[in-house]
Amino acid sequence: MRIKVTRRKFLQTASLTAASVPLAKMARAESSLVEKPIAAPGSFTATETRYGGVCEMCFWRCQLVGKVRAGRLVKLEGNPKSIENGRSICARGNAGIQLLYDPDRLKYPLKNVGERGKPKWKRISWEEALDEAAARLKAIQQKHGPHAVALFPHGASAFYPLQYFEFTGTPNISEASFYQCRGVRDMAYLSTFGFAPGEHVDMANAKVILLVGTHLGENVHVSHLKQYLKGLENGAKLVVLDPRFSAAASKADIWVAIKPGTDTAFLQAVMKRLIDTGRYDKEFVAKSCAGFDELNGSLGEVTPEWAARVCDVPEEQIIAVADLLGTNLPNVAIHPGRHTTWYGNDFQRSRAQACLTALLGAYGVPGGLIRPKGVKLGKAAWGHGVFAEDCDLSTFWPFHPPGTPTEAIRETTLTGKPYPIKAWIAWSRILFRQSPINRGPSRPSGRWTSSWSPISCPWTSPCSPTSCCRKRATWSATITSRPACSGTRPTSRSSSWLPGCLWWSRCSSARTRYGS
Amino acid sequence: MNEAAAGSLLDDLFRILGRSLEYPQGNWPDGDYLAWLDGLLAELGWEEERAELRDLPADHVELLDVLQIEYTRLFINAVPTAVAPPYGSVHYPGEGMLNNRSTEKTREFYRRHGFDLAEESGPADYLPLELEFLARLAGSGRETEAEVFLSNYFRPWFSAFRARVLAGALLPFYRILIELIDFFTQQEDKYEN
């Protein structure tokens, strides 16, 4: 039982003396608190603007400035010098400060010193984390081959590590979220146009914008939204296919409140009407397209009346949309969409969007689908890896998007066939529900992890020649350096620093290498 | 004990308690430290806590290992969430994030009293840092400033932090340290015996 002693009474009677206190052994070389001249009240309110941040609350990479006061990031704003987003950022970007200052943000490298599945985490140094990761990866690759390592990357921060692991010889890289987002769209356009479309439609110069389920104005991607609004300001007609009265639908000239999952029928009927009335780009089709007759033949039974029944929309509306598109060709923006995996019949819907784009000649013209050029990183990029042909698991799936299917990596890891996969690296990914990796009840993959390393929050990424950000937009391409725009020194490291050190750690035994 | 000696003792106590709340590594905590802690608990009459401390592993490597795991879980990161990040603004009413408004006000208070953060130090409301500040005030006899700091900056968040540690700690070590900090930062009526 405790004896009731107050602090004052204790201090009056304590026999403990300073000499008996083990302070000397606990003393650090430097104190975190230093004496300074007394500052007057109110002298501490200056706010500094730091340029050069790039937002990563999504992948769109809007350019930012950070407002820093007393070493604290107090606000994020769009960079007024940006040719993309200018002063604007979206609501999610505004909330980026919470990413930096979330108390549960990973702060140090952690190592699991418990059992797998029953982890006990312990803070370790960067040197220990890198040495151990490098040694274990090297040992696995020496014993089982470079392909025995699989990477699950996601987001803009995965750019360098993805290149690094490909360079070190593993083809087993799967961006599993790709399949649930833009995978079907990219496959459809690859099969039709020969390239993945991105969202590169020139809405600012379009005479008609067609959105198939796309609800611009409710999500992010500021510069994209600006292009869309510019198009509307310039007088573009807007057609929106969406069962919901979305933000875009509220601005539409024609809102098609379509029955969910029937968009392909609608698009087929529009194409049939365009062909039947001769309102398609005959010159473009003749010069640049193959398979027009097959397309026309496949639409033989399609009529607006049939599609109206399937889609539960008025027949007149289908005709009106077709005529509007045909009248304004080729300056028509058929938006390829994003997050296009909906009902299981999405590939053919995206194919229909691509075919409609071609039929209207809406490619490489103002208002149409554009294929922009990117920025080359030159020597700042890792080279491509060389893989043995029999290591490519994707050959078992004859029709698949770029990368190795997640299922193939999972099955190979579980069965060891055709070869063992002994290490998984999750980069900015939680292998948890998101993909069918954990069999049985979904489990946080963290429980099975050997170690975690914190990559920088984008507002704290240190400046380095390779710590830059590429962006390819419809009519512009930019490369942006990204010095830290917050006042806090991170214990995390940038996404370009980590693979570089990992490589160095594998190749060198010098203990001083981390300083530079 | 006169006021100067009491201030000096408080200075040492706050410094030790503050540093005890940093990540355990190297030779710390060693036998001398644990003996000192035992002596302190004995003087306070906290016999149950003394007994609990005796259950800690005697071997330094083993002790360091369990304390590092416990420290990481309590104060750094854990699944699904760290028990009690040792930063004032995380627990300050209406804030809940690192580096919030109260952090800035805390640093302003330091500056108004002749101190500031060293370069590359963390947020101003990091618990060991606030205890070091209290130590500096106690060592220089600035009792009034210490009382203002305790009532306006420290106690408003510390009680919530303490509750989370007491509820979530698996080992007695950090629970006892937090109880000691609570004891030495309690505000008392000046005329209370």
Averaged pLDDT of chain B: 92
Minimal Cα–Cα distance from A73 to chain B, Å? 8
Beta carbons of B25 and B64 less than 8 angstroms apart? yes
* B1 to chain A: closest CA residue: A12
Residues of A numbered 366-425 whose beta carbons fall under 8 angstroms of chain B's beta carbons: which are they? none
**Residues of chain A contacting residue B108, judged by C-beta atoms under 8 Å apart:** 39, 41, 44, 70
Please compute the mean of the pLDDT values over residues B134-150 and round it to a whole number. Answer: 94
**Residues of chain A contacting residue B46, judged by C-beta atoms under 8 Å apart:** 2
pLDDT level of residue B169 (50, 70, 90 thresholds): very high
Q: Residue A72: in which H helix or E strand, if any?
A: strand A72-78
**Residues of chain A contacting residue B118, judged by C-beta atoms under 8 Å apart:** 30-34
**C-alpha distances in Å from residue A462, one per residue of A5, A164, A402, A494, A497:** 51, 19, 31, 7, 9
For chain B, say whether A87 makes contact (Cβ under 8 Å). no
For chain A, say whether B184 makes contact (Cβ under 8 Å). yes
Nearest to A14 among B9, B20, B114 (CB): B9
Distant-in-sequence, close-in-space partners of A92: CB < 8 Å, separation ≥ 6: A57, A58, A220
- Selected for mutation to probe chain A from B76, B83, B109, B148 (highest A CB count within 10 Å) is B76
**C-alpha distances in Å from residue A363, one per residue of A200, A346, A396:** 10, 22, 34
**Residues of chain B contacting residue A451, judged by C-beta atoms under 8 Å apart:** none
Residue A374: closest CA among A477, A226, A237 = A477
Taking 90 as the threshold, does the pLDDT of residue A499 lie above it?
no
Q: Would you call B69 and A122 a contact, using CB atoms and an 8 Å cutoff?
A: yes
Averaged pLDDT of chain A: 83
Percent of chain A with pLDDT over 90: 41
Please compute the mean of the pLDDT values over residues A15-22 and round it to a whole number. Answer: 57
Residues of B numbered 138-177 whose beta carbons fall under 8 angstroms of chain A's beta carbons: which are they? none
Q: Which of A98-112, A192-206, A308-322, B144-158 has the lowest mean pLDDT?
A: A98-112
Minimal Cα–Cα distance from A511 to chain B, Å? 19
Minimal Cα–Cα distance from A242 to chain B, Å? 38
| Residue A276 CB neighbours (<10 A) | 15
Exposure string of B50-73, with b = 16+ CB inside 10 Å and e = fewer, is bebbeebeeeeeebbbbbbbbbbb
Six-digit token pair at A130? Answer: 């890198």
Q: Which of A54-63, A207-216, A417-426, B103-112 has the lowest mean pLDDT?
A: A54-63
Exposure string of A158-178, with b = 16+ CB inside 10 Å and e = fewer, is bbbbbbbbbbbbbbbbbbbbb
- Confidence (pLDDT) at A28: 62
**Beta pairing partners, A254:** A239
**Residues of chain A contacting residue B43, judged by C-beta atoms under 8 Å apart:** 10, 14-16
Minimal Cα–Cα distance from B121 to chain A, Å? 6
Burial class of residue A150, CB neighbours in 10 A (0-12, 13-18, 19+): buried
Instruction: State how far the Cα of A213 lies from the Cα of A204, in Å rounded to an integer.
Output: 19
- Confidence (pLDDT) at A245: 97
Beta strands in B56-179 (DSSP E): 115-117
Q: SS3 of A482, please?
A: coil
Q: Which of A310-324, B73-87, B162-176 has the lowest mean pLDDT?
A: B73-87
Residues of A numbered 96-115 whose beta carbons fall under 8 angstroms of chain B's beta carbons: which are they? 98, 100-108, 110, 113-114
Pairing of strands A208-212, A237-241: parallel
Give the pLDDT confidence of A130-150 residue by residue, as tens digits.
888 888 988 999 999 999 999
- Selected for mutation to probe chain B from A1, A6, A7 (highest B CB count within 10 Å) is A7
- Selected for mutation to probe chain A from B34, B100, B111 (highest A CB count within 10 Å) is B111
The dihedral built from the CA positions of residue A119, A125, A129 and A131, taken in this order, carries a sign that is: negative
Q: Which of A465-469, B34-38, B188-192 has the lowest mean pLDDT?
A: A465-469
pTM value is 0.85
Q: Would you call A33 and B116 a contact, using CB atoms and an 8 Å cutoff?
A: yes
Distant-in-sequence, close-in-space partners of A2: CB < 8 Å, separation ≥ 6: B44, B45, B46, B47, B48
**Residues of chain A contacting residue B110, judged by C-beta atoms under 8 Å apart:** 33
Q: Would you call B72 and A20 a contact, using CB atoms and an 8 Å cutoff?
A: no
Taking 90 as the threshold, does the pLDDT of residue A193 lie above it?
yes
Q: Would you call B117 and A20 a contact, using CB atoms and an 8 Å cutoff?
A: no
For chain A, say whether B81 makes contact (Cβ under 8 Å). yes
Which residue in this structure is represented by tokens 């593993």? A170
Instruction: State how far the Cα of A175 lies from the Cα of A182, in Å rounded to an integer.
Output: 11
- Confidence (pLDDT) at A515: 41
Half-sphere exposure of A242 (CA within 13 A, CB side): 23
Give the pLDDT confidence of A250-262 residue by residue, as tens digits.
999 999 999 999 9
> Crossing angle, helix A263-276 and helix A346-359, to 10 degrees?
20
Q: Would you call A38 and B114 a contact, using CB atoms and an 8 Å cutoff?
A: yes
DSSP conformation letters of A253-302: SEEE-PPTT-HHHHHHHHHHHHHHTT-S-HHHHHHH-S-HHHHHHHTTT-
> Crossing angle, helix B31-44 and helix B47-54, to 10 degrees?
160
Residue A121: closest CA among A131, A135, A129, A111 = A111
Which residue in this structure is represented by tokens 């796309």? A214
Taking 70 as the threshold, does the pLDDT of residue A488 lie above it?
no
Overall size of chain A counted in residues: 516
Instruction: State how far the Cα of A354 lies from the Cα of A271, in Å rounded to an integer.
Output: 11
Instruction: State how far the Cα of A346 lies from the Cα of B166, in Å rounded to an integer.
Output: 53
As separate numbers, helices (DSSP H) first and strands (DSSP E) second, chain B gives 10, 1
Beta carbons of A58 and A92 less than 8 angstroms apart? yes
| Residue A352 CB neighbours (<10 A) | 23
Q: SS3 of A152, please?
A: strand
Residue A392: closest CA among A410, A375, A405, A380 = A405
* A453 to chain B: closest CA residue: B77
Minimal Cα–Cα distance from A184 to chain B, Å? 34
Q: Would you call A8 and B192 a contact, using CB atoms and an 8 Å cutoff?
A: yes
Taking 90 as the threshold, does the pLDDT of residue A214 lie above it?
yes
Percent of chain A with pLDDT over 70: 80
- Selected for mutation to probe chain A from B72, B74, B100, B171 (highest A CB count within 10 Å) is B72
Q: Residue B63: in which H helix or E strand, if any?
A: helix B60-71
Q: Would you call A72 and B103 a contact, using CB atoms and an 8 Å cutoff?
A: yes
Which residue in this structure is represented by tokens 């969202």? A199
Whether cis (ω within 30° of 0) applies to the bond prior to B80 is: yes
Give the pLDDT confidence of A109-125 residue by residue, as tens digits.
888 898 877 888 999 98
Distant-in-sequence, close-in-space partners of A32: CB < 8 Å, separation ≥ 6: B117, B118, B121, B122, B126, B128, B129, B132
Instruction: State how far the Cα of A128 lies from the Cα of B68, in Å rounded to an integer.
Output: 15
Taking 60 as the threshold, does the pLDDT of residue A314 lie above it?
yes
Residues of B numbered 86-145 whose beta carbons fall under 8 angstroms of chain A's beta carbons: which are they? 87, 90, 96-100, 103-104, 107-108, 110-118, 120-123, 126, 128-129, 132-133, 136
Taking 80 as the threshold, does the pLDDT of residue A460 lie above it?
no
Minimal Cα–Cα distance from B42 to chain A, Å? 10
Q: Residue A334: in which H helix or E strand, if any?
A: strand A332-334
Six-digit token pair at A486? Answer: 């917050």
Please compute the mean of the pLDDT values over residues A288-315 and round it to a whole number. Answer: 96
**Residues of chain B contacting residue A30, judged by C-beta atoms under 8 Å apart:** 118
Distant-in-sequence, close-in-space partners of A72: CB < 8 Å, separation ≥ 6: A487, A488, B99, B103, B104, B123
Higher pLDDT, A171 or A514: A171
Overall size of chain B counted in residues: 193
Q: Would you call B108 and A44 a contact, using CB atoms and an 8 Å cutoff?
A: yes
Residues of A numbered 175-204 whose beta carbons fall under 8 angstroms of chain B's beta carbons: which are they? none
> Crossing angle, helix A346-359 and helix A183-192, to 10 degrees?
40
Higher pLDDT, A10 or A27: A10
* A41 to chain B: closest CA residue: B112
- Selected for mutation to probe chain B from A15, A17, A21, A486 (highest B CB count within 10 Å) is A21
Six-digit token pair at A147? Answer: 């392909």
Instruction: State how far the Cα of A175 lies from the Cα of A173, in Å rounded to an integer.
Output: 7
- Confidence (pLDDT) at A440: 33
Please compute the mean of the pLDDT values over residues A160-180 and round it to a whole number. Answer: 84
Largest CA distance in chain A: 103
Minimal Cα–Cα distance from B15 to chain A, Å? 8
Minimal Cα–Cα distance from A406 to chain B, Å? 25
Give the pLDDT confidence of B63-111 residue by residue, as tens digits.
999 999 999 999 999 888 999 999 999 999 999 999 999 999 999 999 9
| Residue A233 CB neighbours (<10 A) | 9
Instruction: State how far the Cα of B18 lies from the Cα of A370, in Å rounded to an integer.
Output: 60
**Beta pairing partners, A53:** A64
- Confidence (pLDDT) at A471: 59
**Residues of chain B contacting residue A107, judged by C-beta atoms under 8 Å apart:** 76-77
